[in-house]
Amino acid sequence: MWNAFVDAYHQGDEARAREWLRRLGAKPRVVLEAMLENPDAIVRQAAAFGLGELGGAASARRLERQLALEEARGDHDAASVIEAITEALGRIADTSARAGLLRRLERLPGSKVAPADVNTLARALWRRRHPELSPAVQRTLERLCMPTAASLRGLAVLLETSPEALRAWVEDAGVPIEQKAEVLTVLEEEVPDSLVPVLPAFIFTASAQASLALDQRGDASYYCERLFILLFLHAERVLPALPAPARASLRAVARTLVTAKSQRCALRAVTMLQFVGRSEDLALLEAHRPEDETLAAVFDDVARAVRHRENQVPPGGAAN
């Protein structure tokens, strides 16, 4: 029975994995804990996901024990399981899960830790955010070097800054753009309601960076990419909440970056127009439609989405 659960998880279909999780029988925790002993890393990852979904202190304790075992293994397979366990602990609301994440933070090796591992942990800690996290995050920042600890620095800003102060921080031209990108990376995990009103400040900052992002593959381009990704991930909730000036600015940034030197940034700008583009943007998409069939399909899909959305807008109800 758990084979179908593992397959769904491995394919990235979390909804189907949750459905199979409900079919594991009367004692799914027993099944999942047995799966953690499987030599196949994918099976162990799926088990961690399942325990995260079940939640509770018992799941948190078992996951933390497994975390120690995987850290002791120290190989590539173990690293993938550690990532799954970290994400699972981030989904468990029990305070013991947060304590487990804190202990993981304190154990991070200063010289050998990969940035991706730090990023996963920073996102999980943000989901389980609490004032008690700040001292531990600061201690870890003192041990780790940049850019390895970049997402932890972003987490520290979010933990220690009120929404009003964060808006001022984002608007401050003296703050390096790479540090603002670090905050966006952590916010990809979750944008609390209190920070939705701060998003226009990030958008207006992207507007100021667009000309640099257009011609370079540096920090400005990366910042715009992170902003687009954040807005994609939370589009249904945050885009309708944007004030008209911020939405218009976002559209203008996306239009500018359709021709960005960085192909990744350009494709994300094109995809952003799927959400904020207007019929006037169709000519731009057609003019820069690439010859490569795969890339052209992205432009075509966005153009169709823009036409469909524009047709749904009632007369006089169009927004920028």
Round to whole Å and give the CA distance between 148 and 182.
11
Domain residues for 62? 1-107
Round to whole Å and give the CA distance between 171 and 199.
11
Q: What is the CATH number of the domain that holds 222?
A: 1.25.10
Q: What does pTM read for this prediction?
A: 0.85
**Peptide bond connecting 28 to the previous residue in cis, omega within 30 degrees of 0:** no
Which residues of the chain are under the pLDDT cut of 50?
315-319
Contacts 24+ apart (CB under 8 A), 17-24: 17/46, 17/49, 17/50, 18/53, 21/50, 21/53, 21/54, 24/50
Is 64 a member of any domain?
yes
Tell me: do 51 and 181 sit in the same domain.
no
Is 223 a member of any domain?
yes
Round to whole Å and give the CA distance between 135 and 159.
10
Q: What is the pLDDT of residue 72?
A: 87
Tell me: do 167 and 311 sit in the same domain.
yes
Residue 121 CB partners (closer than 8 Å, separation 6+): 86, 101, 104, 105, 108, 152
Q: Do the Cβ atoms of 256 and 210 come closer than 8 Å?
A: yes
Tell me: do 1 and 72 sit in the same domain.
yes
Structurally, the chain folds into a number of domains equal to: 2
Q: What is the pLDDT of residue 319?
A: 47
Tell me: do 6 and 101 sit in the same domain.
yes
Q: What is the pLDDT of residue 313?
A: 58
Is 305 a member of any domain?
yes
For residue 61, give both structure tokens. Answer: 């304790």
Quick one: which H or E segment has residue 72?
Answer: helix 57-73
Round to whole Å and give the CA distance between 317 and 310.
10
Tell me: do 203 and 101 sit in the same domain.
no
Last residue of a domain, one of 107, 123, 144: 107
Round to whole Å and give the CA distance between 212 and 260.
9
First vs last Cα of the chain: how many Å apart?
A: 50
Last residue of a domain, one of 107, 136, 151: 107
Tell me: do 214 and 85 sit in the same domain.
no
